[in-house]
Amino acid sequence: MKFGIIKERKNPPDRRVVFSPNEIKTIQEQFPAVTFKVEPSDIRVFTDEQYRELGIEVTEDLSDCEVLFGVKEVPVEALIPNKKYFFFSHTIKKQSYNRKLLQAVLEKHIDLYDHETIVDAANKRLIGFGRYAGIVGAYNAIRAFGIKFELFKMPKAEALNGKDALVQQLKRQIIPPIKIVVTGTGKVGSGVKEILTAMKIKEVSVDHFLTKTFTQPVFTQIDVLDYNKRIDGKKLDTLDFYKNPHDYESDFERFSKAADIYISGHFHANAAPEILSQKMLQASDCKIKIVADVSCDVNGPIACTLRASTIAEPLYGYLPIENKEVDVFHPAAIVVMAVDNLPCELPKDASEGFGEMFTKHVVPAFFNTDADEILARAQMTQDGKLTERFQYLQDYVDGK
C-alpha cells in the first residue's frame, strides 16, 4: 500500500504534518508492506532532506499513492480524483465557507476521511491537535494578561522551541493572585490544565473558586453542567444536556463575576446555549479581563469573539458596552485571544504527537480489515455520495 504526504497549500501557511520522518520509519517497521512518498515543501517543520535521510522518497508525483494525508483543507484545484484523503475539511458543522470543497470531493469521487470524524465506538475522538491548542492557548492567555497590565513581556509561542520552553518562560513570571476559569475537560482542556499545573497554579473546586479569596493564582476546570442549567430548574445529567440542549441556558455568569481570565477549551454544538453573553460582559460586576477563546467559534457562544485573530496579531480589544473591537489598551477593553490555528505555534511537537496517535489508532485499520470500524465510521464520502453517517450534510451540499 502506498501512502502520500501532501504539501500544505492553505494560507496562512501551516508547518504541521501528519507524519514526521521518524514516525514514517516506525510505521514501515510495523507494516513492511507500506511505502511512503512525500510531496516537497519549503514550509513544513521537517525539511525534505530530513525525509530523504531516512530513505523516504520526496517527489512531486503522488499519482500512484492510494491514500493521501494532509492537515488543513486542500484547495479544490489541488484535489486528485479517485483518491482517499485524510485532512481537516471543516465541513461537518456545515461551514458555509467550505461547501465548495465538499462538493468538489463528491464530484471527483474522492473518499474523504476527516480527522475530526475518526472516533471510537463510543464516538470519542481518537486523534487531533487539541492538546497543543490548549497548551499554546494557556500560554497566550498569560502572555495577554502580562501585556494588558504591563506586568511582564514574553515572546510569542512560535518563537520558542517546544512546550518545555513555554513552561520555562511562564515560570519566570510573577503572577498576581488571579482566578482563571477553564471550560472543557477534553484534549484541549487537558492541554490548558497541563500548562497551568506546570506553572504551579493551584487547582480549586468550583465552590471555592466562586466563594473564597486567595493569596495565590488559582484555576478551576468546569464541564457543561457547571456552566449550563436547565431552564425548568431540574437537576439532570450530562447525557440529558447533550440530548436536549434547547432545555438549558447558560449559568456562566457566576464565573464571569469571579474570574479574571477565561480560557475556553470546550466543544460547542450548534444547538447548545450561548456561554458568555454580551449582557454578562456588560455587567458592572463582570471581572473578566482576558478571554482566550481556544475553541474560536466566531459569532458563537462567546460574545467577545468577533473574529479569529492570527499568530502574527493574536490579540484585540473588545468593548462590551458597544459590542465592538477596540485597542487592547483601551481602559474598558477586555482582551481577546482567538487564534484559530494555535497548534501551528508548536509545529514540531504537535506533528510528532499527532503522528503517534494516528499510528496507534488508525494505521492498523488498513491492515486488519478495519476490525474496529475506525475507517468505516470516519468515511464521509464514497462513490460520489455521502455515506450514511453523514447524510445530514446533504442539504448543505445542495446549498440549502
What percent of the chain lies above the pLDDT cut of 70?
100
pTM: predicted TM-score of the whole model, two decimal places: 0.88
Per-residue pLDDT, 377 = 97
- In the block, which residue shows the cell 466562586? 210
Cα torsion 275, 122, 136, 45: sign:
negative
- Distance between CA atoms of 277 and 288, rounded to whole angstroms? 12
Can you give the pLDDT at residue 269?
A: 80
Q: Are 270 and 296 in contact (CB under 8 A)?
A: no
pLDDT at residue 12, as a whole number: 80
Average pLDDT, the chain: 96
2-127+347-398 and 130-340 in the same fold: yes
Query: Does residue 90 carry a catalytic annotation?
Result: yes
Q: Give residue 13's pLDDT.
A: 85
Residues pairing with 270 in the sheet: none
Amino acid 11: pLDDT: 86
Q: Which among 395, 348, 368 has a CA at the least distance from the CA of 163?
A: 348
- In sign, the C-alpha dihedral spanning 342, 249, 194, 72 is negative
Residue 72: pLDDT above 90? yes
pLDDT of residue 329: 97
Chain segment 371-400, per-residue pLDDT in tens: 999 999 999 999 999 999 999 999 999 987
CATH architecture assignment, domain 130-340:
3-Layer(aba) Sandwich (3.40)
pLDDT band at 51; cut points 50, 70, 90 = very high
Does the pLDDT at position 53 exceed 90?
Answer: yes
Percent pLDDT > 90 in the chain is: 94
Domain ranges of the chain: 2-127+347-398, 130-340
**Residue 149: burial class (beta carbons within 10 Å; 0-12, 13-18, 19+):** middle
CA of 88: how far to CAs of 91, 384, 399, in Å? 8, 19, 21
Q: What is d(CA 7, CA 79) in angstroms, rounded to the nearest whole number?
A: 12
Q: How confident is the model at residue 297 (pLDDT cuts 50, 70, 90)?
A: confident
Nearest of 370, 393, 371, 373 to residue 381 by alpha carbon: 393
Is 320:278 a contact under the CB 8 Å cutoff? Answer: yes
The DSSP code for 74 is P
Q: Cβ–Cβ contacts within 10 Å for residue 30, how many?
A: 12
pLDDT band at 299 (very low <50, low <70, confident <90, very high): confident
pLDDT single digits (tens) 126-146: 999 999 999 999 999 999 999
Length of the chain: 400
Chain center to CA of 168? 23
Q: Which of 37, 72, 115, 193 is catalytic?
A: 72
Catalytic choice (7, 90, 93, 279) = 90
Alpha-carbon distance of 218 to 259, in angstroms, equals 10
pLDDT over 90 (residue 271): no
268 is catalytic: no
Rounded CA-CA distance 15/317 in Å is 28
Q: For 345-363, what is the mean pLDDT?
A: 96
Residue 223 in marked binding region? yes
Residue pair 160/166 in contact by the 8 Å Cβ criterion:
yes
| Domain boundaries 2-127+347-398, CATH class | alpha beta
pLDDT tier at 313 (50, 70, 90 boundaries)?
Answer: very high
> Which residues, in sequence order, are CB contacts of 233 under 8 Å at separation 6+?
none
| Distance from C-alpha of 55 to C-alpha of 21, rounded to nearest angstrom | 9
